[in-house]
Amino acid sequence: MAIWTTGPLQRLLAATACYGLPQNSSKSCGVLPYVHLGKVPYTKALRLQECLVRRRIDLNNTSDDERSRAGVSDLLILLEHPPTFTAGRRIKGQDEEGTRLKVLGADYVETLRGGQATFHGPGQLVGYPILDIRNYKLSVRCYVSSLEKTIIETCAKYDIKAETTEHTGVWMNGTHKIAAIGIQVQRYITSHGIALNCDTDLTWFDHIVPCGLQDKFVTSLSEQLGRGVTTEEVIPQYCNAFGGVFGRQMTKLEDVEGGKELWNEIDEVLRSS
C-alpha cells in the first residue's frame, strides 16, 4: 500500500477491519468543499498541500469557536499537472533515473508519498484530499479503500467496471491501471491522493515501470470508451462519488462560509511558490 504516516497514527495502520461511515450512504453528515485549480506545476501543488496540512493541524489545536470562525477545515483539491514524473520514497535518490526522465521534457520530483515512480500530466484528474480521517472514523487502510471506491464509482458512471487487486490503485481486468493512489498522513491529516487517467497521453508511461509493477499496463477513461473524456467532464462525477463514499455534501469552496478567504490564501501560496 502506497502510504506514509507520521506520529501516533502508526497504531491505526495496523487496523485490519474497515469501519466508519456507511459507504454510498444517501445521508450526508456535513459539507465538504472542493476547489478546482486547473493546471498547476507539481512543486507548487506540493507546497500548497504542505501549507494546507499545517493549517489543518493548527485548526485541531484551537478551540471549537476558533475552528467555527475559520469556516473551512477539510478540503478536496482537484487539478491537473504539466508532464511530471514523481518518485516515491522507495526510489528516492536515484539521480540517473531523474536525469533520464528530465531529458524527455517532463519535470522530475522526489516526494514523501508512498510507492515508486509514476507520471502526472494533462488529461489526468488529480485529487488531493486534505482531511482529518478521525472525522470519518476511518483507519488508514480504510481511507485508502475509500479512495479506491471513489474511483470505482466514478468509472461505473461511465459503465466501466473497475476493480481493486492485491496492488494499490484501481484496475481494469487486473492488468490495466486506470488510477493511481499514493497518500501521506501526518497527525491524522491526509495529503496526496488519487490520479485518474481521463484523456491522458499514455505514451508517457512507456518511459517508466508505473509503481514498479512489471507486466502491467496503464489505461484511461478515453481509451476504455473510445472517445475523449476530459477532466472537466469527470469532475462532477468524481465529486458525486467522493461525497457518496465519504458521506459528505460536496460544495464549491467559494460557496461555503470562509471559502473565499481560504481561496485567497490558496491563490497567494500558488503565486508565491
Helices 231-246 + 140-156 axis angle, to 10: 130
From 142, 155, 198, 211, active-site residue: 211
Q: Are 83 and 106 in contact (CB under 8 A)?
A: yes
Please indicate whether residue 211 is annotated as part of the active site: yes
Q: Could you identify the residue written with the cell 500558488?
A: 270
> At CA 245, angle to CA 240 and CA 201, rounded to 5?
60
Compute the residue count for the chain: 273
- What are the backbone dihedrals phi and psi of residue 169, each rounded to the nearest 5 degrees, phi first? 105, -175
Of 214, 96, 191, give the one whose Cα is nearest residue 143: 191
Q: Could you give the residue numbers annotated as active site?
A: 211
